[in-house]
A and B are shown apart, each in its own frame.
Chain A
């Protein structure tokens, strides 16, 4: 009898306390969700900012960051590596220092227009500050978004349209490169040049090749203003070889195509 009395007292008191605590939490939660603004007694305002955070990567390593479009992401590569991870592997073969992929910020469908505002994000800037090699692939979607309509049967872009797109997008490319250099002036910046994925289509071969050549020239002009900048050419790999080196979607490189791009990137790195 004594023990059950003790049991009842403990359970009674603790359950009443638990109920009161939970009820308070419940009321507080309802208030906080329904009227978040009205004077919360427990608001804590974090004053930290990512712009003050120091990079954590070591200077004695190759810290690779890639950003840009689906090529940076590796779309079309059956192994999922893309030129980024292939470049990491290849670079490790020839370098003694450890090679690390810090982040791959490639997003499918990314254009120069889309990339520019993301460079203002503190998270992206922090990632870039952690790199000493930055691989950039952008512009393909700006130029060829229209041409991807080839499967849907819409009209193909003319040379004039492509050329005016080169004009506009290359201005944004300059802003992007300037911005990256501003964020991390010490890193080597490698821009992966464009190829013409449609050079096996009669109507797209010459206008496409011309536009891509113009684009790559612009890109070289922009990158060459910086000591650490360079353009890796990919145009020649795919010319006449689209069947061999492009994936089934007829737009992205396949495993082999990515491998060649990666090897070229590594050849130029120091």
Chain B
């Protein structure tokens, strides 16, 4: 342990000096205001339409979704999303709780939900993809490996540094979104109740497990799940970075896999064995929000297991390959 700490320190400082983390923060600082502005516009139109009465707006949303349920042109698998949405909105209305109470905290919750599958993984890849491959393309890997340290320790120190930054990225995404959206929507809303525990049984919505948690607890859970997903993505990117010499190639490979995941979740409900792919299981926050899983038979436990197995296998491959391979030019 004593000999690994300096290595981690070394990796961390390298990471900061390469300014990758600053880029991530900068991307967040640039993009969040754009989303905030879009959200502000939506809130404005609603205010005009419904006299700023959210109850009327929610009730109209229920009717609109009921109408699309009647339409023969809406595919069956989309209907279950609508069914559960209608039930959720009715539940919020009955308890007189605004599901979209304006506020920085509520915005952040929505933002984290939307960012979970593509945006945050992208930020993770920004630091994970070149963590090994850049040492090879620049040749510095020889300097690293000529030191009297075991190869697995070198790799482990990189992995630990990476995981440290994964946690930092997830937390910064929350903090930046909260700070910026709070300027517009206010910094309140930590104690607003959020309902969770909706389940879909066939075409009925099971309300027996529904309970309210304060919004801060909801966001904590949400970030925890995003963190787990991010670790999986980080480990996969880590493996690709070990296997592929060029940083650009390793980014492209990971991006392609992630985008394939978004496409698959939109169309793969007929191909049920797709549920064993990691990219279909990334949207863990769905289980919290009660959105139906893209493929029949997926549960939180299942997705966590799939992600854990993918992460473990990619770690195994990374360490085996890295300790065995010859370092040539």
Contacts and interface: CB of A to CB of B under 8 A. Distances in A.
A15 B287 contact: no
A97 interface: no
B223 interface: yes
Contacts of B16: 7, 11
A59 interface: no
Given A19-B164, A28-B217, A44-B191, A105 B211 contact: no
B31 to A, nearest CB: 21
Contacts, number: 168
A31 B129 CA distance: 32
Contacts of A26: 221, 224-225, 227-228
A89 interface: no
Nearest to A8: B9
Given A18-B168, A42-B217, A32 B196 contact: yes
A105 B97 CA distance: 21
Interface stretch (A45-53, A185-193, A222-230): A45-53
A75 B59 CA distance: 20
Contacts of A221: none
Interface stretch (B87-95, B135-143, B275-283): B87-95
B193 A44 contact: yes
B63 A106 contact: yes
Interface size class of A (residues with CB under 8 A): 35 or more
Contacts of A30: 300, 304
Interface in B1-17: 9, 12-13, 16
A19 B71 CA distance: 47
A36 interface: yes
Contacts of A4: 13
A19 B160 CA distance: 12
Interface in B279-321: 287-288, 300-301, 304
A269 to B, nearest CB: 21
Contact of B55 (A23, A24, A29, A53): A53
Given A46-B96, A122-B94, A29 B224 contact: yes
A23 B71 CA distance: 44
Contacts of B269: none
B212 A12 contact: no
B63 A105 contact: yes
A69 to B, nearest CB: 10
B24 to A, nearest CB: 13
A107 B206 CA distance: 24
Which among A12, A104, A109, A123 has the highest number of chain B CB atoms within 10 Å?
Answer: A123
Given A8-B12, A56-B51, A103-B60, A43 B164 contact: no
Contacts of B62: 123
Which among A46, A48, A100, A130 has the highest number of chain B CB atoms within 10 Å?
Answer: A46
Interface in B127-163: 163
Nearest to B195: A46
A22 B95 contact: no
Which among A8, A25, A127 has the highest number of chain B CB atoms within 10 Å?
Answer: A25
Given A36-B197, A106-B67, A123-B58, 7 more contacts: A8-B12, A8-B13, A18-B170, A24-B224, A27-B224, A32-B196, A57-B53
30 contacts: A7-B16, A11-B164, A12-B12, A19-B167, A22-B167, A24-B220, A24-B224, A25-B224, A29-B225, A32-B196, A32-B213, A32-B288, A34-B300, A43-B213, A44-B214, A45-B212, A46-B193, A49-B96, A50-B94, A50-B95, A53-B55, A56-B52, A73-B67, A102-B50, A102-B56, A103-B60, A104-B63, A106-B67, A123-B55, A123-B94
**Nearest 6 pairs of A and B residues by beta carbon:** A25-B224, A26-B224, A29-B221, A48-B96, A15-B164, A123-B93
